Structure 1
Amino acid sequence: MRIRALVTAALVGLSVLTTQTTATAQQTGDPLGDAQWGLTQLRAPEAWASSTGAGQVIAVVDTGVDLGHPDLAPKLVPGATFAGCGDGPAPCGNGDWRGVDGVGQPADVHGTHVAGIAAAVAGNGVGIAGVAPDARIMPVKVLENGSGSFPEIAAGIRWAADHGADVINLSLGASLGAQVLTLLGINAEAKEAVAYAREKGVVVVASAGNETSPLCGTPAWEAGALCVTATDPKGQHASYSNFGIKLDTKAVAAPGGASKQGCENAVVSTVPRGMGKPECGQSDYDSLAGTSMAAPHVAGVAALLTAQGRDVEGVERALIRTARTPLLGTRGLYTAVQGYGLVDAAAAVQQPL
């Protein structure tokens, strides 16, 4: 039986014309930098003096990436396609968002958006800056029209781990209740693939899910994956986001945006050229919200940390110990809602190795 994994897809596509002001545009020279409140919330620009992610590869295991996007093309390493291969051998493509049939599905803008959040080019005079502006992107297409099977997703994770990924981002998730299936060993492909990647020294970051469930969804639920819940622009738990409950408690929070409060409260990033919604005012960029947007913020910070020579345990330790809990003013304190709290890139890169 084919079990479909549901991408924790962005909830809204909204205008980026009215935005909160940040210092990012001045720091990077990217015209949409002032819209990137997520970078400010993470304190990513303050971390760049210590690390920009140079030499690191972030695998975006998702719907594929627009390989010609000007904010992404200079950053790409060879990728692979596992969705839509049919009865033929896999991989059957290079990770392009348009898939084997050459047709780009509207739902498949997702992977390009995720990739930009993590590692879009900074200072090139167009668009945005990624959290890890000097990291590379590995496009791995495991979803077609926004969904795919556990075996396809697992194959993509393993391929990325075998082909040089330092960080794997999984902005996708199965439907509610899939945690039981993996606990019972009924569908163990993704669980085993995450464990395989971790054994190879790869940091695996996964979105918590958008169902307002207490539990991190699958594969974020699995041991070896860091579960990421979403915050709104105020740093509070986003209303749609799942909580950070999982057996090993390895969960943090990051900017995901608010779902119904206007464009300035979503997350602006790259989309395949020409696919930006007209109301957004940009043809190659769009503003979306979801835990899918939160995960690549953390994947970007993870690349800043692996670039400093940290192993998987060191990366997780730095992220967890320095994460902050809004209002309480504490760091590294676990709560059921946001896990260990909002990731702080500037503090994480300063943690002793």
Structure 2
Amino acid sequence: MLGSAARSEAQDADPFEHGWILDAGASDLQFLSVKKSVIAETSSFATLSGLITDTGAAQIRVLMDSVDTKIDLRNVRMRFLFFETFLFPEATISAQLDAGQLRDLHTTRRKVIDLPFTLNLHGVTVERTAEVAVTLMSNDRVTVASTNPIVLALQEFNLEEGRAKLQEAANVDILPMGMVSFSFVFDRAQPGTPPDLQSVTAPVTPGSAALETQGDFDREACLGRFEILSRTGNIYFGPGSARLDDKSVPLLENLHDIVRRCPDLRIEISGHTDSIGSDASNQRLSERRAQSVRDWLAAKGIPADRLLAVGYGETRPAFSNDTEEDRRRNRRIEFAEIGG
């Protein structure tokens, strides 16, 4: 009894005693999107980590590859077309909890507070305030949950281009906002081992958290991924050049992983240009650019006889060539099964 009383007094003095560690399996982070104006879809993230230090500094880390829509190719679209996880593999939520607001949590058991937080998503950092409910489930377990959905405008996070790609891929209209809700469950850390914010900043291996079949993909999964990769627009060359820009590497690394896991397929790598310049020069440029991608994959160990580089010049535009934006999108590399 004396031990319990001492523990209660300690909690009264310091609600962050020893710090807290996120129970990822019991926690949940969801976002709701709306398509066709009336159809709401809820998705979540499967890989979370986080903590609250003994000074009340809180951080949640979200591995964006772990997006879970319950449908494999929809997950892949979200990763490559919307969130661009090959460039932005994680999102973080940071906050500083106020001990004064929570000092009596051990007696009230539940408190609703306004919590300022910082969200870093898709390379953009914003500051917001959310109403959250902090509930002490036991002396060593607490939840921090949103009381209302948090509305995020996609434009604010440079996600409008990703929304356009999703709309084209799925042939649906999607509202330019998402609604986020969460319930984070924390367990008290062991005495003498206060959690450190550095423990949730380990480097992320691209694709490591993706929810997909381990090992080789079947043909349908391969073809679906090639179609999605063809829509990314994240393979770059200098103007009039066939030399791959270094900023292409993150997507190429993911492409390599997918091609490697489709060992029974021979793959056509096709280059396409806009309509500026002569037909002959555009044809040559498209062939050289496709060959550069083929050479990159072969250098990474993909058997050369599985890869065919083809140039189509300006003959297969995906968009009109009337605007600079459409011309930019026509300058692309696509992937398909040979003979498919």
Higher RCO, 1 vs 2 (CA within 8 Å, ≥6 residues apart): 1
Q: Which has the larger radius of gyration?
A: 2
TM-score (norm 2): 0.30
TM-score normalized with structure 1 length:
0.29
